[in-house]
Amino acid sequence: MRRVVITGLGAITPIGNTVNEFWKNILAGKSGAGPITKFDTSKFKTHFACEVKGFNGEAHIERKEMRKYDLFTQYAVVATDEAIKDSGLNFENMTVDERAEVGVIWASGNGGIGTFEEQLKEFHMGDGTPRFNPFFIPKIIVDIAAGVISIRNKLHGPNYCTVSACASSNTAIIAAFDTIRLNKADIMIAGGSEAAITPSSLGGFGAAQALSKHNEAPEKASRPFDRDRDGFVMGEGAGALILEELEHAIARGATIYAEIVGGGMAADAYHLTGTAPDGIGAILGVNKALKDANITADKIDYINAHATSTSVGDTSELIGLQKVFGDRPVPISATKSMTGHLLGAAGAIESIICVLAVKNNIIPATINLENIGDDVPAGMNLIAGKAVEQEVNYALNNTFGFGGHTASSIFKKYVVTNNE
């Protein structure tokens, strides 16, 4: 098995459109929630979300090309551009054979749902004549962001999309990790993007009783583990990571953020949308990740919980973690309290948080956690209020999705040894 490291990061989020801005606001405990500006929400029960602010796709993508891309693909392109630049990679100087060793695995749970809604609305408001945009299908299919990233950069390596609802982008990162260590590529671009703050998404999640209704104070609405939590807050954006084989990264003098050492995937096989109350999905996924990393549970210094601010979901995850980690008070935080829930892109931006926590020895906090819920297991070390500086050698990222999907990844501090 070859070792795999992280050499580049990129982010478009509700609290920052670069990694530096995003990380600064994560540590500051800034909420990205506010009234929805994309459409009229007056007839909906929830009127707010964590929207991306000030996004300018035309600064990165030619206008002619932008018309071919749904917003989720635009987010993917811009986040990936930042990650590539951050990594110092120059694909233009590579041969075709070298670029055949560079691939893309990109995730999304909803793909071009905004385009889908717009086109169907136009069709039904017309006379029934099918007048669809010629790019309708390429704009909505979930795999297209991966394809666009490879086309823009002329990358000929493995290229596909992972879809496992809100576990999608963590699954993509694990798949990219496996691709490199099994010697099927040297470099992989992995991550996910979502642009699902649309009427149908808001209506659908609302009908499922999944969304918070704290309309009077949106910035306080996402409150994982808190007694008064009442549902998640929708978010949007993208996270991109450059995964690279260690010797390849060293040979070109790359800056290494962290090493990825384990990935575990499982299913709780319980319910369409709910998580198993006994936390079996979390238990299986985390244990598989630990086994893959060849470490014991006592090595983990920080857990970025999936915790979306739903009562059943938050509690079942903590029950599962308690069964894995026992009485050891491993620090846990839920950064969705700031970003909202980026759905298929959540795992990517939370992996970036784990990577930076390992790199900088700092653990972000859960904001809005004022009164721990009575259903939260006793003895959990929930980091609330302010970020905590402490050594982080291993960080675990948990993600779970509708359908019972679970994915857990482990990032390790990279330390240069004598033979490197």
- List residues with catalytic annotation: 166, 306, 341
Q: How far apart are CA 48 and CA 222, in angstroms?
A: 11
Spatial contact of 386 and 362, defined as CB atoms under 8 Å apart: no
Longest dimension (CA), the chain: 72
The encoded tokens of residue 275 equal 């998580």
- Render the burial of 330-342: b for 16+ CB within 10 Å, e for the rest: bbbbbbbbbbbbb
Q: How far apart are CA 175 and CA 188, in angstroms?
A: 10
* Residues paired with 401 in a beta bridge: 405
Amino acid 17 reads N
Please list, in sequence order, all residues whose beta carbon lies within 8 angstroms of the beta carbon of residue 156, skipping any fewer than 6 positions away.
Answer: 96, 99, 100, 102, 150
Q: How far apart are CA 62 and CA 266, in angstroms?
A: 41
Which of 391, 38, 77 shows the shortest CA–CA distance to 199?
38
DSSP notation for 348-368: HHHHHHHHHHHHHTEEPPBTT
Helix residue ranges, H only, 92-167 = 96-99, 113-125, 136-140, 144-153
Q: How far apart are CA 322 and CA 286, in angstroms?
A: 11
